[in-house]
Amino acid sequence: MLVDAPIGADVGFAVLADGMGGHAAGEFASKIAVTEVLSELKFRSTNVASFRRQAPAALRAAALSANACIARQVREHAGMRGMGTTLVALALMRDRAFWVSVGDSPLYLFRAGQLTRLNEVHSLAPQIDLMVRTGQMTEAAGRWHPDRDCLTSVVGGGNIERMDLPTTPLQLTDGDILLVASDGIETLTRRQLQSFLRSHAHMDSAEIAHRLLLAVESLDDPEQDNVALSVIRVLAPRHMCLADAGPRNAAAAPVEARSLELMVARWFQRLGALFRPRRLSSARGDPR
């Protein structure tokens, strides 16, 4: 995971990738993805005004660039065949956010006490959940189904079957919390995660991230997957400490007064002794 979101910057990024295809190959694929995507986005955002207008196109291009880079590695190194990765790339522009995602790594919004998943799930989990809701499967069987984590779309050097890429930005408001994470965070149920954020929303992003990892670890799940996450708190300028407020151009003050600041924390922790390799399902979704 890589994060580049300085306080006061016009544009910030959080990029997460969770590899598949065996431990070594999956880690290699995820490193390629986060490095390539962040590099491409930073290059394209040097002109902030242009990037604001073309953010979805830039995010798509960054994901495709990472995919092409992985394809080259697979062609040149036979031992890397079958590697791939999920991807969530979040672009933050003061009071708005765009994203691109592939796979099942979650992007959450916590607002006014309610937790919402923003991005699509590209795995067999939605189909299994539907079977549970319609009575074709018990809740316990659905939660522990062996195919639940099978991915229907990945960044793996081939065709990206599905890509979640909204063209309309998410408007951010004071107090919003964005959480980008690997699926290891889902050891906590959605209800547990929402309850946790309700209890800790007043804390700074670093403390929320730290305590969230402790909450996952406290469950002592023997099959706990690695957890990588970034917590992003959206704050109105009045909440920022004076040390963050330098001299401002008087002409820019009205715009600055309406903008929002970001507090970001990034954490990664290896939890448990098991690495659970995931595979690409043969049940592919329609390209989006």
What tokens were used for 196? 């946790």
Mean pLDDT score, 6-13: 85
pLDDT at 38 over 60: yes
Q: How far apart are the first and last CA of the chain?
A: 25
Highest averaged pLDDT of the listed ranges 71-85, 105-119, 126-140:
105-119
pLDDT at 45 over 50: yes
Q: How many CB atoms lie within 10 A of CB 231?
A: 29
Q: Which of 8-17, 94-103, 115-124, 238-247 has the lowest mean pLDDT?
A: 238-247
pLDDT of 279 = 53
pLDDT above 70 as % of the chain: 82
CA 120 to chain centre: 11
Q: Please choose, from the candidates 26, 6, 14, the residue with its C-alpha nearest in 3D space to the C-alpha of residue 275.
A: 26
What the chain holds in terms of domains, given with CATH numbers, is 2-269 (3.60.40.10)
Average confidence score pLDDT of the chain: 83
pLDDT of 237 = 65
The tens digit of pLDDT for each residue in 214-224 reads 999 999 888 78
Report the C-alpha gap between 168 and 98 in whole angstroms.
Answer: 8
Higher pLDDT, 205 or 224: 205
Mean pLDDT score, 9-20: 93
Report the C-alpha gap between 287 and 87 in whole angstroms.
Answer: 16
- Tell me the three-class secondary structure of the chain, residue by residue: CEEECCCCCCCEEEEECCEECCHHHHHHHHHHHHHHHHHHHHHHCCCHHHHHHCHHHHHHHHHHHHHHHHHHHHHHCHHHCCCEECEEEEEEECCEEEEEEECCCCEEEEECCEEEECCCCCECHHHHHHHHHCCCCCHHHHHCCCCCCCECCCECCCCCCCCECCCCCEECCCCCEEEEECHHHHHCCHHHHHHHHHHHCCCCHHHHHHHHHHHHHHCCCCCCCCEEEEEEEEECHHHCCHHHCCCCCHHHHHHHHHCCEEEEEEEEECCCCCCCCCCECCCCCCCC
The tens digit of pLDDT for each residue in 233-284 reads 988 765 443 333 333 333 332 322 233 555 666 555 544 333 334 555 544 4
The tens digit of pLDDT for each residue in 165-195 reads 999 999 999 999 999 999 999 999 999 999 9
Q: Are 69 and 38 in contact (CB under 8 A)?
A: no
Mean pLDDT score, 4-31: 87
What tokens were used for 142? 């659905």
pLDDT of 92 = 94
Whole-angstrom CA distances from 193 to 110, 155, 201 are 10, 27, 12
pLDDT of 272 = 37
